[in-house]
Amino acid sequence: MPAAKRAVHALPAPYLLFLGDAVEAGFAKTALGLRDWAPDRCLGEYALPTATVTTGLPRMTPAEAAAAGARALVIGVANQGGVVPASWMPALLAAIAAGLDLVAGLHTRLGEIPVLRDAAAQAGTRLIDVRVPPPDLPIATGAKRSGRRLLTVGTDCALGKKYTALAIARGLQARGVDATFRASGQTGIMIAGEGIAIDAVVADFAAGAAELLSPAAADDHLDVIEGQGSLFHPSYAAVSLALLHGSQPDLFVVCHQPARALILGTPGYQVPPIEAVIEQTVAMGRLTNPAIRCAGISLNTAALGDREADAEIERTASRVGLPVADPIRGGTAFDRLLDACAR
Amino acid sequence: MPAAKRAVHALPAPYLLFLGDAVEAGFAKTALGLRDWAPDRCLGEYALPTATVTTGLPRMTPAEAAAAGARALVIGVANQGGVVPASWMPALLAAIAAGLDLVAGLHTRLGEIPVLRDAAAQAGTRLIDVRVPPPDLPIATGAKRSGRRLLTVGTDCALGKKYTALAIARGLQARGVDATFRASGQTGIMIAGEGIAIDAVVADFAAGAAELLSPAAADDHLDVIEGQGSLFHPSYAAVSLALLHGSQPDLFVVCHQPARALILGTPGYQVPPIEAVIEQTVAMGRLTNPAIRCAGISLNTAALGDREADAEIERTASRVGLPVADPIRGGTAFDRLLDACAR
């Protein structure tokens, strides 16, 4: 498999993180995630005067960042609708003028904005939309690949599959395991510096893209693959299944948020029990890997206090009979989950 | 739901069927399917002098067909690779010059061939690629729609899901049932005159496209939806799941070819038993329609003699305990399958 294909979004780093005019941390989740999970790729931040959110990184103009070695301005902020507001334009043009590439994962493609396209062409810089899939993706073959794989799956979307995969990959790397985080969504791609946004791939090629994302590797290598959506999400289950079949995981970790009762964005759909997700993931996943099994559960307990979180983790572990942890809280529970992932 | 959205590929008819230089019927499957299933949309055929395949329809030049009322030349032939060979070009240009739209479902897009694009622009005719999805497809909502739906599913791809859906829709219409065939692939779209090629939709929107394909309808209306792929096909299961979730079928019919042991195109994968497909279709389909159930089995017995076919149908029926028929053979077995679909 040619390296060029795998590394389509080999992103230029280090980054200058653009925060726009964000006044709520929720809109700057991408920048904050990059600060937390890819500090070595982040040089500083740049924001409009009205912004109140900060990553705590040094504030720099694009010219200062370029002089300090930055290679890209990463749009680390979203606004409703995923468009690029006119108020951001002078800042983005300043970055291009400073010789920085622009990197974004917005709904609107940077290359479709004429003023940016013209400026980048003139400056000889790139506009990189990380949601644009590589060209010429293959149809999945289903052929067994060498190496080991772990996929994070969810009872719903947006509850911690990316950070669970990152925490497991980092935790295993710290133990000396040859593990690689594989990004399947926009923020993950920015963190890893490469990857494929599986949900943006044409359906026929989605499992093939997943095969490309975690290529054949040494027998003791472990790819820890960021999951997408949920087999129980009526909008996105097809994306989840393509990723499951193409990843051929030996292990999966179910991500769950105890406080969430209803599936996001689809009124009337209940979040399934963890046990149902284990059962259906095995039932579907065994098509491409008959040895698939659940390594454990990742609970997102951000909404709970320490004591409540510990109690929820213990209760879930004794009910499901598998290691359960909140990777963000870590501790001995997470050590036991890592043990199960390393086996 | 605006009618304009549903009818994106409201194709111009009647058609002049183009057979290219086909010398094997297998490459002219689309033209032969249109002759059999959409005779009222087919005016005649047009082929290069070296072609030996014929649909039996009157031979006409594009100019003669246009004079007789034809509105489009449909490329009813495929060649290896799905490209448009240079040898077809004079014929296609003659069709454009005669004022006909070109309709195709090839891998190569007609609009990407400069000489055709320029000729069509000059003549004021259209180049219609039926595999191009409509713009602005929605994310699936999972919301329950009115009307009834039946989906054909398969133990593999390419074994009769389209013709089973067509035969069921026609059979029920003949009984006075208010039924509509819904096309999810290129040949089906040409037969129906409209539809969406689900496998060509970006994964995130595939279930949403399926919701659009079989819109809310009168309570006693039945949409008979052409299935795609198979939940057991490692390349295409995501397409099948998007169609299953978006279609919210009340009923499904499992299509199976008894002679086929291995899944097409993916060495080492066995065709699953019919029972496994029923079980997994119910397990996954109940997410968006808890009342989903299997109406019966469609066997593709084209490779068998009459007596063998009857025996296979009887054997399968007694094993599965549901109506089983080969819709192409018809007979009382198919009447019983239609009874089950009408209930």
Instruction: Domain ranges for chain A, please list them.
Output: 3-129, 148-342
**B230: amino acid identity, one letter:** S
Listed range (A63-67, A104-108, A147-151) with the worst mean pLDDT:
A104-108
- Tokens 């032969």 locate to B32
All residues of chain A having their beta carbon less than 8 Å from the beta carbon of residue B143 are: 266-268
Q: What is the rounded distance in angstroms from the CA atom of residue A83 to the CA atom of residue B39? A: 48
Taking chain B, what is the end-to-end CA distance rounded to the nearest angstrom? 27
**What mean pLDDT, rounded, does chain A reach?**
95
Q: How far A236 CA sits from the closest chain B CA (Å)?
A: 6
Q: What is the rounded distance in angstroms from the CA atom of residue B341 to the CA atom of residue A304? A: 50
Condensed to tens digits (0 to 9), the pLDDT of residues B4-13 reads 344 456 899 9
Interchain CB distance below 8 Å, A238 and B238: yes
Q: What is the pLDDT of residue A15?
A: 98
Q: What is the rounded distance in angstroms from the CA atom of residue A241 to the CA atom of residue B239? A: 9
Q: What is the pLDDT of residue A343?
A: 86
All residues of chain A having their beta carbon less than 8 Å from the beta carbon of residue B142 are: 234-235, 266, 268-269
The answer to whether the Cα torsion of A143, A144, A149, A153 is positive or negative is positive
Q: How far B272 CA sits from the closest chain A CA (Å)?
A: 10
CATH number of this structure's domain B3-129, picked from the four choices 3.40.50.300, 3.40.50.720, 3.40.50.1100, 3.30.70.1530: 3.40.50.720
All residues of chain A having their beta carbon less than 8 Å from the beta carbon of residue B287 are: 232, 234, 237, 269
Fold agreement (A3-129, A148-342): yes
Q: What is the rounded distance in angstroms from the CA atom of residue B175 to the CA atom of residue A313? A: 59
CA distances from B21 to B46, B66, B77, B106, B290 (A): 10, 21, 9, 16, 50
Condensed to tens digits (0 to 9), the pLDDT of residues A191-234 reads 999 999 999 999 999 999 999 999 999 999 999 999 999 999 99
| Sequence-distant (≥ 6) Cβ neighbours of residue A194 within 8 angstroms | A6, A7, A8, A9, A10, A11, A183
DSSP bridge pairs for B299: B256
Q: What is the pLDDT of residue B9?
A: 64
| pLDDT exceeds 60 at position B212 | yes
Q: Work out the pLDDT band at A60, boundaries 50, 70, 90.
A: very high
**B32: amino acid identity, one letter:** L
DSSP character at residue B271: P
Interchain CB distance below 8 Å, B206 and A140: no
Condensed to tens digits (0 to 9), the pLDDT of residues A110-161 reads 999 999 999 999 999 999 999 999 999 999 999 999 999 999 999 999 999 9
Interchain CB distance below 8 Å, B139 and A287: no
Nearest chain A alpha carbon to B206: A203
Taking chain A, what is the end-to-end CA distance rounded to the nearest angstrom? 27
**B36: amino acid identity, one letter:** D
Among A108, A118, A43, A47, residue whose Cα is nearest residue A82: A108
Q: What is the pLDDT of residue A3?
A: 36
Nearest chain A alpha carbon to B270: A287
Q: Which residues of B touch A (CB under 8 A)?
A: 139-143, 198-204, 206-208, 231-232, 234-239, 241-242, 245, 265-269, 280, 283-284, 287-288
Percentage, residues of chain A above pLDDT 90: 92
Q: What is the rounded distance in angstroms from the CA atom of residue A258 to the CA atom of residue A264? A: 14
SS3 (DSSP) at B297: strand
Nearest chain A alpha carbon to B205: A235
Q: What is the rounded distance in angstroms from the CA atom of residue A243 to the CA atom of residue A206? A: 7
Among B56, B62, B58, residue whose Cα is nearest residue B75: B62
Among A178, A108, A123, A116, residue whose Cα is nearest residue A146: A178
Nearest chain B alpha carbon to A283: B280
Interchain CB distance below 8 Å, A283 and B287: no
Q: Is A158 left (phi over 0), alpha (psi -120 to 50) or beta?
A: left
β pairing state of B324-325 and A148-154: unpaired
In the structure encoding, which two tokens stand for residue B320, read together?
A: 């599965």
Query: What backbone phi and psi angles, to 5 degrees, belong to A209?
Result: -65, -40
Listed range (A33-42, A47-56, B78-87, B104-113) with the worst mean pLDDT:
B78-87
Percentage, residues of chain B above pLDDT 90: 92
Q: What is the largest CA-CA distance in chain B?
A: 62
Q: How far B116 CA sits from the closest chain A CA (Å)?
A: 24
Nearest to B287 among A203, A234, A287 (CB): A234
| pLDDT exceeds 70 at position A279 | yes
Condensed to tens digits (0 to 9), the pLDDT of residues B95-128 reads 999 999 999 998 889 999 999 999 999 999 999 9
Q: Work out the pLDDT band at A9, boundaries 50, 70, 90.
A: low
**What mean pLDDT, rounded, does chain B reach?**
95
Q: What is the pLDDT of residue A1?
A: 34
Q: Work out the pLDDT band at A61, boundaries 50, 70, 90.
A: very high
Length of chain A: 343
Say if CB A266 and CB A233 are below 8 A apart: yes
CA distances from A220 to A42, A57, A146, A168, A192 (A): 31, 37, 9, 16, 21
CA distances from B139 to A262, B142, B211 (A): 18, 9, 9
In the structure encoding, which two tokens stand for residue B142, read together?
A: 């999972």
Q: Work out the pLDDT band at B82, boundaries 50, 70, 90.
A: confident
SS3 (DSSP) at A223: strand
Percentage, residues of chain A above pLDDT 70: 97
Q: Work out the pLDDT band at A6, boundaries 50, 70, 90.
A: very low
Q: How far B39 CA sits from the closest chain A CA (Å)?
A: 30
Q: Counting one residue from A and one from B, how many pairs have CB atoms under 8 Å apart?
A: 120
Average pLDDT over residues A288-294: 98
Does the A148-342 domain belong in CATH 3.40.30.10? no
ipTM: 0.94
